[in-house]
Amino acid sequence: MRQGTATPHRCILVVDDDADILEFLHDLLEMEGDGVTTSLKGEALERLRHGELPDLILLDVFLSGKDGRELVKQLKSR
Amino acid sequence: MTTTSSESSHLQERGIPAGSHMVQFSENDTSLISAVSAFVGAGLRAGDACLVVATQSHRESLEQRLQAEGLDLAAARAAGSYVPLDAATTLARFLVGGEPEPTRFRATIGPLIEQAARDNRHVRVFGEMVALLWAEGNRAGAIGLEDLWNEQGRLQAFSLLCAYPMQAFSGHAHEAQFVHIRDQHSRVLLPESYSQLSEEERQRAFALLQQKAHSLEIEIAQREAVQERLRVLAAIVESSDDAIFSKDLAGIITSWNSAAERIYGYTAEEMIGQSVTRLFPHDGQGEFDEIMARIRRGERVAHHVTQRVRKDGTLLMVSVTISPVKGESGAVVGASSIARDITGQRRLEARSQQLFASNLIGIFVADSLGRLLEANQALLDLVGYSWEEWQVAALTSPLASFVLPLMEDAGGAASVTEPQETVLRHKSGAELPVLVAVTCLEDREACIGFVLDIRERKALEQRKDAFIGMASHELKTPVTSLKGFLGLVQRLLADLPDARVRHYLTRMNVQIDKLTALINDLLDLSRIQAGQLVYRREQVAMDDLVAEIVESVQETTQTHRLQIEGRSRAEVFGDRDRLGQVLINLLTNAIKYSPGADRAIVHLSSDGTQVLASVQDFGRGIAREHHRKIFERFYQVDEPQEKTYPGLGIGLAISQEIVKRHGGRLWVESTKGQGATFHVSLPRFQRGRQPSNGSREEIP
């Protein structure tokens, strides 16, 4: 895992089912200078399965309809 | 007695030492005269002086006998070596009020012996005065006189022979006196029938006599003990709560205790001499005949439950045990009855039966192995079985598997378990949530279980759980967004020259934190009520935890200085965050409720089993009547003169729950006007031992 603010193009995926939270987390992380992808209700994860992985995923545990921990398990099993 | 030879030789052959005091127990006058003539004759022949204090008839018989043996009594009398005296006359000289008077005795007897002993003669005395007193029934006088003779023997040298007729000691009452008289004499001469025996045989015979005396003493003691036992038994019978009475073989009452009077209403006077059938109902003759037939055969009729009629005509239920009473020959002579009034007991049993049949609650009875013996209709309905099916299924039914652990639980000090939730399987296979409590009967041979259907409650709880889950999410999400955006605004406006904007934003942030805390408290409370509060189990170093919490709370206050005093140097076992939450609550309360003070103190200590953290404030304190209630939900001290404080009044309720679940205790000490101290006591964690932290279930 790369570290520190010196590297400008880290990619962080934020997953939450609340749009407001996604928005402020997105803005906060952008202020810090990171590349942020946000995704509602884990849709992004579906896309991730076919594409490349980000450097970091911020995942809400309580996603309506899906348990965050289950998603992590699925990801790790790959 | 046909011969006196052995007795004579006995008295003659043995040199009689001066000062010896012999007693002769004789069977009749003839044997007495034989013994005395041998004693006196031997003395006269040996040149001794002989004093004979006897009745006239005994003196005459003695003198005839001695003269027949060739002794010249006239010469002896002239020489002062034979001195006959009348026993009654001599006795009268020193008897005062029926008692021998010592001074007079010495004045009477002393000179006589002194006179007889002149020329260095040995003196022999035969005395019958003691026997006279004894014959008159003056036992004390006789024994007193014996003592005086013994005393005299210490002043003057003479040999004394006393005589008692054996018959005087017949009967048990005199055994002790016999032993006393025997012991007062240095030698005992036995009746002639014994004296014909050889020395060895005599000794044996006497030993037998002593044994007899001893065994009689024992028998007396035993009789007294038996009488004492009888008195005790009589007292027991009288004080018994059960009716106890006896009757002969015809059924006629011979004794009747006071409980019988109370239970049946008849006095002893009314019943003794009457037939016991008076107590029987009209159709009771057959029962009576049957009982008496068994009694005659020597059988016991035990715990016979039957009906009897009181004097006032009312019926009662009794449990009666009738035992045959045997006479000395071993034949049955009557019967004893012990009857207990079980009318009340039966009524209670009937009531219990009604309770059992109740259809409100499922009831079962299980034996000590957890096997189900009985179940009421309500329980059968609940699980969907018929009684017949139940009996078959009982051994394998899932019902059986939960009974045993519950019974073991109930085996403790309290014989009733806390109601526990469990799941039964309906005949159809469906799961039935139930609440079960078990009560073990005395000696734990059987247990009664109560089963409550809680399906509805469970469904309600599930809805509530779902609500809490949803509310948690719905309430917290907007607050989180709010705080997030506020953080962004604060960053963007950090360089704004107007300090007021930054100040306002900071204030907003503080309020959002308070809102978050309130929401968290409410959610905690809901979770506690739903039993959903989750606890981690880990070792927690108390001193570190307190230091950390004090530091973080200190950051939020400028008014109070938070101090730590003492160290516990101990660990507890539980949830670090939850325990921290308790300390935060206590510290923020301490600050909140002591606005005029400038400090609060956390005291730490521990002993072998407990760790104590006490938070002391210097506020206005809490009146005693509120000490318990402040731990209730939504309770706040409300006093008109005082400033009211904002808050939901649930912080202490949550803290209390958390501490309880750690097996600890939270309480307050305070006097109005003198600050308050909240104590948290927690079980100390001891390495290598399973901590008992009181949390019975762990909900992951």
- Which chain B residue has its CA at the smallest distance from A61's CA? B473
- Assign 3-class secondary structure to B51-116: EEEECHHHHHHHHHHHHHCCCCHHHHHHCCCEEEEEHHHHHHHHEECCEECHHHHHHHHHHHHHHH
- Chain segment B233-265, per-residue pLDDT in tens: 888 888 888 999 999 999 999 999 999 999 999
- The separation between CA B435 and the C-alpha centre of its own chain, rounded to angstroms, equals 38
> B481: which chain A residues are within 8 Å (Cβ-Cβ)?
18, 20-21, 24
Task: Give the minimum alpha-carbon distance from A71 to chain B in angstroms, rounded to a whole number.
Answer: 19
* Measured distance between the N- and C-terminal CA atoms of chain A, rounded to whole angstroms: 19
- Give the residue from A14, A22, A27, A61 with the most B CB atoms within 10 Å of its CB, the best one to mutate: A27
β-sheet bridge partners, residue B439: B416, B448
Output B23 or B315, whichever has higher pLDDT: B315
Cβ-nearest to A31 among B473, B481, B491: B491
- Chain segment B116-166, per-residue pLDDT in tens: 888 888 899 998 888 888 888 888 888 888 888 888 888 888 888 887 766
Q: Do A21 and B480 touch (CB under 8 A)?
A: yes
Contact between B419 and B436 (Cβ < 8 Å): yes
**The pLDDT of residue B201:** 64
Output B700 or B562, whichever has higher pLDDT: B562
Judged by CB atoms within 8 Å, which residues 417-476 of B form the interface with A?
473
Residue B175, SS3 per DSSP: helix
- Chain segment B598-618, per-residue pLDDT in tens: 999 999 999 989 999 999 999
**The pLDDT of residue B385:** 83
Cα B588 to Cα B284: distance, rounded to the nearest angstrom: 83
Give pTM, 2 decimals.
0.40
Q: Do B488 and A24 touch (CB under 8 A)?
A: yes
**The pLDDT of residue B2:** 36
- Tell me the residue type at A1: M
Q: Do A21 and B488 touch (CB under 8 A)?
A: no
Task: Give the minimum alpha-carbon distance from B479 to chain A in angstroms, rounded to a whole number.
Answer: 10
For chain A, say whether B369 makes contact (Cβ under 8 Å): no
Q: Do A20 and B473 touch (CB under 8 A)?
A: no
Task: Give the minimum alpha-carbon distance from B475 to chain A in angstroms, rounded to a whole number.
Answer: 12
The beta strands (E) that lie in B533-589 are given as 538-541, 561-565, 571-574
Contact between B26 and B20 (Cβ < 8 Å): no
Task: Give the minimum alpha-carbon distance from A69 to chain B in angstroms, rounded to a whole number.
Answer: 15
- Which chain B residue has its CA at the smallest distance from A22's CA? B481
β-sheet bridge partners, residue B146: none
**Is the pLDDT confidence value at B293 over 80?**
yes
**The pLDDT of residue B204:** 64
**The pLDDT of residue B273:** 92
Cβ-nearest to B477 among A21, A27, A28: A21
**ipTM given for this complex:** 0.74
- Which chain A residue has its CA at the smallest distance from B486's CA? A24
**The pLDDT of residue B239:** 85
- Which chain B residue has its CA at the smallest distance from A30's CA? B488
Residue B611, SS3 per DSSP: strand
**The pLDDT of residue B700:** 33
Q: Do A20 and B488 touch (CB under 8 A)?
A: no
Dihedral sign (CA B591, B592, B598, B600)? negative
**Is the pLDDT confidence value at B168 over 80?**
no
**The pLDDT of residue B267:** 93
